[in-house]
Amino acid sequence: MNFLRIASVGAAGLLLLGGCKKTADNSINYKSAIDGWYSAHPSCLWDTPQKFPTQVAASNDSQNAPFAALVDQGLLVRSTSEKKIIIISKQEINYDLSDSGRSAWTADTTQPGYGNFCYGHRGVQSITSSSPNSGEPGATTVVNYQWSFSGAPSWAKAGTIQTAFPQVQTDLAGSGAATATLTDTADGWKVTTPPPGGSHRATSADGSIVQ
């Protein structure tokens, strides 16, 4: 009886250890890997860092619309100027960060003056399926999952922002389905094909660049 009891405890311990192992092939580790990627790559308004101050031709409505939405939310300030090209006078609208905008701005420390407005991040709500893998180091798996969104500031919830930046509306709608490719490394499962819904280049809270 004692032998059976010890064997049962040992087997349970092995199962628990397998479940906690970072390289184990299970939904908990897949979720942790994808959530980690999203935490380091928040969703931002632009795919690439933008530079402020910037100028846009007053006649270019499509380029002005996103900036105008940010002015409405107090993140940018706007002024007008005229540029003379030979004998033609061209009116331009100047945009720069407001005091509130600087507080919400995520600066790109590798490019002075460049950065982005980030508005939260996705997270894994549930793992729906994953492709088989060899279980060996370097193995890959394609994970299908449902995501949810969190951390959105009040300005991102404004209708003018969501009209000017449709991706914000998609993210804040609540949830959706996505796919990511993960690789089994010595340090656990890692995202190797960036999933949708996160900036591929952003800065972390301490100002360092996250690639």
Give CA angle at 108 (68, 182), nearest 5°: 105
> Token digits for 156?
């991102």
CATH of the domain at 174: 3.10.450
DSSP structure class, residue 100: H
| Dist CA 141 CA 190 (whole Å) | 10
The number of beta carbons lying within 10 Å of the beta carbon of residue 200 is 11
* Residues 47-79: b if buried by 16+ CB within 10 A, e if exposed: eebbebeeebeeeeeeebebbbbbbebebbbee
Last-in-domain residue among 115, 139, 170: 115
What pLDDT score was predicted for residue 22? Answer: 59
Residue 12 falls inside a structural domain: no
User: Does residue 85 sit in the same domain as residue 148?
Assistant: no
So what's the pLDDT on residue 207?
33
Same domain, 154 and 54: no
Asked whether residue 200 is domain-assigned, the answer is yes
How many distinct structural domains can be found in the chain? 2
Contact 201, 209 (CB under 8 A): yes
Element (H, E) at 162: helix 159-164
| Structural domain range at position 166 | 24-46+119-210
- Give the C-alpha separation, 60 to 65, whole Å: 9
| pLDDT tens-digit map of 42-78 | 999 999 999 999 999 999 999 999 999 999 999 999 9
The residues of the chain scoring below 50 in pLDDT are 1-20, 200-211
* The model's pTM: 0.76
